[in-house]
Amino acid sequence: MEIIVLESEAYKSLQKEMLHMVRITVREAKEEAMANMDPANDWLDAEEAKKLLGIKSKTKLQELRDFDEILYSKAGKVIRYSKKSILEYLNRNIVR
């Protein structure tokens, strides 16, 4: 077994660099996924939208519509929500 010893500053620097690389990789993967999203599969019903948002309340979903936080389409009584706009909303509201 080989043992590698690092000074604490070198270890912290390595951690910071690796975290930065992971963030870049995740950001690029999200951007690629968003770019390749099929527009036909972009529209969700209310239950799917609530599940993606992690909410249970119809009222909160209505509030997001009312304040133009997410895009939606209404045909008669049927309301569909844009998956892309929900993902953008979630990304805008990341807490660091």
43 lies in the same domain as 78: yes
- DSSP H helices, the chain, are 8-35, 46-53, 58-66, 83-92
Mean pLDDT of 60-84: 94
Residue 30 sits in the same domain as residue 46: no
Domain that holds residue 82: 39-96
- Please tell me whether residues 48 and 95 are part of one structural domain: yes
**32/43 same-domain check:** no
One domain for residues 67 and 94: yes
Q: Kindly provide the b/e burial profile for residues 62-92, where b requires at least 16 CB atoms within 10 angstroms of the residue's own CB.
A: eebbeeeebbbeeeeeebbbbbebbbebeee
Amino acid at 30: K
Same-domain check for residues 30 and 12: yes
Whether the model pTM is above 0.85? no
Residues 66 and 55 in one domain: yes
Is 45 found in the same domain as 86? yes
The answer on 91 and 57 residing in a single domain is yes
> 47 and 15: one domain?
no
What pLDDT is attached to residue 39? 63
Choose between 95 and 73: higher pLDDT: 73
The arithmetic mean of pLDDT across residues 64-87, rounded, is 93
pLDDT in tens, 5-54: 999 999 999 999 999 999 999 888 887 777 666 666 789 999 999 999 99
The count of structural domains within the chain is 2
Same domain? For 51 and 74 the reply is yes
> Rounded to the nearest 5 degrees, what angle is found at the Cα of 79, between the Cα atoms of 75 and 84?
115
Closest CA to 84 of 22, 26, 40, 47: 40
> Quick count: other Cβ atoms within 10 Å of Cβ 42?
17
